[in-house]
């Protein structure tokens, strides 16, 4: 058929929506699982062998195994038929558990999410009285959590992931058992914050960026009532021309999300929608932005009128830098939108 039917267009739109709201880490896990299953199959299958069985190109299999391509529901069903089981079930369970572990910070947030899941997906597990109690507690917690804008963003992001996971994962009994085995105490005291890849930062709302893992911070920061995220900086070879660069490729920076800062702090700033890392201070009623690792120390000077005209906004303050060796193998494929 030359043109897609309306039903086909809606199906493709739904797949794109699901893909965009799933963490990138899920595709990496699913790709590795497919590769391992292919190699360990009896007899062992090459990418070409598997592609022929599935009726797709060899490059498609390669892209999936590298975590660069979404596995459609149809393709997943065909893969399950070849391996006699759904090989991706554990990947999806792991991602759901990790997302809850990473995006939940307080007991109220945890309870809110669990009530949401019970009411939305597991009504048959509870009596009408229990469900009514859940609904009342859910509504009460929803009002409390509205006060913290960033917490609301984290929760909404997690809900989007949960919705999409329940679309692609059909074994509700296994999901329910996994949720029952979660340790609430560990989740709300694990000092983990979301880790985002600078390549895929959503500049409108960082919590809708692709989650690539979690980062552990000091308990004093975790409990100081501020909101923190971590960002993995990628492909920053253009920053390495300086003798002592402050920020290097593969650094993980911890960022306090806020719209204020103090003199001589390093901040992430948005200028006309583009993000930059700058050092900031005030001088003679001017706001001075400099490059933290530029030896020439070139200055950008702005008045209050300039700030309004250029739509300059502070995204957050950088409070820590950490080098993570586990990302070295992936460094060649990243390009960062965050520049000095």
pLDDT in tens, 108-164: 999 999 999 999 999 999 999 999 999 999 999 999 998 888 889 899 989 988 888
Of 103, 330, 30, 94, residue with least CA distance to 198: 330
Instruction: Please tell me the predicted confidence (pLDDT) of residue 207.
Output: 87
Instruction: Please tell me the predicted confidence (pLDDT) of residue 261.
Output: 84
Q: Where would I find the beta strands (DSSP E) of 81-239?
A: 192-197, 211-216, 227-232
d(CA 194, CA 201): 12
**194 phi and psi angles, rounded to 5 deg:** -65, 140
Domain boundaries defined on the chain: 6-87, 91-188, 195-333
Instruction: Please tell me the predicted confidence (pLDDT) of residue 298.
Output: 63
Instruction: Please tell me the predicted confidence (pLDDT) of residue 22.
Output: 65
CB-count burial class (<10 Å; 0-12, 13-18, 19+) for 321:
middle
Instruction: Please tell me the predicted confidence (pLDDT) of residue 2.
Output: 37
CATH topology of domain 195-333: Umud Fragment, subunit A (2.10.109)
Instruction: Please tell me the predicted confidence (pLDDT) of residue 184.
Output: 92
pLDDT tens for the 340 residues of the chain, in order = 334 455 554 555 455 444 445 667 778 888 999 999 999 998 999 999 999 999 999 999 999 998 888 888 789 889 999 999 889 888 888 888 988 999 999 999 999 999 999 999 999 999 999 999 999 999 999 999 988 888 898 999 899 888 888 877 778 888 899 999 999 998 988 888 999 888 778 888 888 887 888 889 888 888 888 899 999 887 654 444 444 567 777 789 999 998 888 888 888 888 777 788 888 888 877 888 887 765 555 666 777 777 777 778 889 999 988 875 454 434 333 333 333 3
d(CA 312, CA 20): 28
Place of tokens 């990418």: 47
Could you tell me if 228 and 257 are in contact, meaning their C-beta atoms sit under 8 angstroms apart? yes
Instruction: Please tell me the predicted confidence (pLDDT) of residue 328.
Output: 40
Q: Is 247 left (phi over 0), alpha (psi -120 to 50) or beta?
A: beta
The two tokens of residue 39 are 């190699």
d(CA 54, CA 212): 29
The CATH architecture to which 6-87 belongs is Orthogonal Bundle (1.10)
What is the value of pTM for the model shown?
0.76
- The residue length of the chain stands at 340
Q: Is the dihedral of CA 30, 31, 37, 38 positive or negative?
A: positive
Instruction: Please tell me the predicted confidence (pLDDT) of residue 295.
Output: 53
Of 211, 236, 108, residue with least CA distance to 161: 211
d(CA 289, CA 276): 10
> Could you tell me the end-to-end alpha-carbon distance of the chain, in angstroms, rounded to an integer?
49
Instruction: Please tell me the predicted confidence (pLDDT) of residue 202.
Output: 82
Instruction: Please tell me the predicted confidence (pLDDT) of residue 271.
Output: 79
Instruction: Please tell me the predicted confidence (pLDDT) of residue 264.
Output: 85
Of 256, 232, 245, 251, residue with least CA distance to 318: 256
């Amino acid at each position: 058929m030359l043109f897609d039917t309306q039903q086909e267009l809606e199906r493709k739109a739904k797949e794109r929506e699901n893909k965009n709201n799933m963490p990138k880490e899920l595709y990496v896990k699913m790709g590795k699982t497919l590769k391992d299953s292919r190699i360990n199959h009896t007899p062992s299958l090459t990418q070409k062998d598997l592609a022929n069985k599935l009726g797709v190109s060899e490059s498609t299999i390669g892209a999936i195994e590298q975590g660069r391509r979404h596995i459609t529901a149809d393709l997943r069903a065909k893969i399950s038929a070849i391996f006699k089981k759904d090989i991706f079930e554990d990947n999806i369970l792991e991602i759901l558990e990790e997302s809850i572990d990473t995006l939940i910070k307080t007991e109220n947030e945890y309870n809110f999410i669990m009530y949401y899941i019970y009411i939305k997906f597991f009504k048959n597990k509870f009596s009408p009285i229990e469900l009514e109690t859940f609904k009342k507690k859910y509504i009460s917690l929803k009002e409390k959590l509205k006060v913290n804008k960033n917490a609301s963003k984290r929760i909404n992001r997690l809900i989007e992931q949960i919705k999409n996971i329940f679309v692609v994962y059909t074994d509700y009994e296994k999901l329910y058992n996994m949720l029952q085995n979660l340790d609430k105490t560990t989740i709300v005291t694990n000092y983990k914050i979301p880790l985002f890849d600078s390549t895929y930062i959503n500049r409108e709302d960082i919590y809708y960026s692709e989650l690539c893992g979690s980062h552990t911070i000091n308990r004093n920061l975790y409990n100081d009532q501020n909101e923190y995220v971590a960002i993995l900086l990628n492909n920053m070879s253009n920053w390495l021309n300086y003798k002592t660069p402050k920020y290097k490729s593969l650094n993980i920076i911890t960022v306090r999300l806020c719209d204020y800062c103090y003199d001589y702090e390093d901040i992430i700033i948005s200028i006309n929608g583009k993000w930059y890392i700058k050092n900031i201070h005030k001088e003679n009623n001017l706001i001075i932005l400099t490059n933290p690792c530029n030896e020439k120390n070139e200055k950008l000077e702005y008045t209050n009128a300039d700030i309004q005209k250029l739509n300059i906004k502070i995204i957050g303050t950088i409070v820590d830098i950490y080098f993570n060796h586990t990302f070295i193998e992936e460094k060649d494929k990243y390009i960062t939108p965050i520049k000095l």
